[in-house]
Structure 1
Amino acid sequence: MSVVINTNTAATIASNNLASSSASLQRSLNRLSSGSKIVNPSDDAGGLAVSMKLSAAAKRSAAANSNIGNVTSYLQTQDGVLQTSSKVMDRISELWTMYQDPTKNSSDKANYDAEYQQLQKELDSLTQEKFNGVSLFGSAGTGVVESVKVSEDGVQTVAITAKALASSTDGVGAFSDAAGGGSLSSISSIDSIKTGIQNVATFRAKNGAEQSRLGFAAEVLTTNKANLESANSRIVDVDVAAESTQLARWNILVQSGTAMLSQANQSAQSALSLIR
Structure 2
Amino acid sequence: MKGVYDILRLLYHKKNIMNVLEGNYITKIYGKEDNKVVALDDFSIEIEEGEFIGVMGSSGSGKTTLLNVLSGLDNADSGSIIINGNNIGELNKDELALFKRRNLGFVFQEFKLLDSLSLQENIMLPMILDKREPQSMKLRAKEIMSLFDIYKLKDKYPWNVSGGQQQRAAIARAVINEPAILFADEPTGNLDSKSTRVIMNYISKMNKELGSTILMVTHDPFAASYCDRVIFIEDGKLSIEMMKKGDKKNFLGDIIHALSLSGGAVDEI
- Normalising by structure 2, we get a TM-score of 0.21
Asked which structure has the greater CA Rg, the reply is 1
| Greater relative CO (CA pairs within 8 A, separation 6+) | 1
Greater helix fraction, Structure 1 or Structure 2:
1
- Normalising by structure 1, we get a TM-score of 0.21
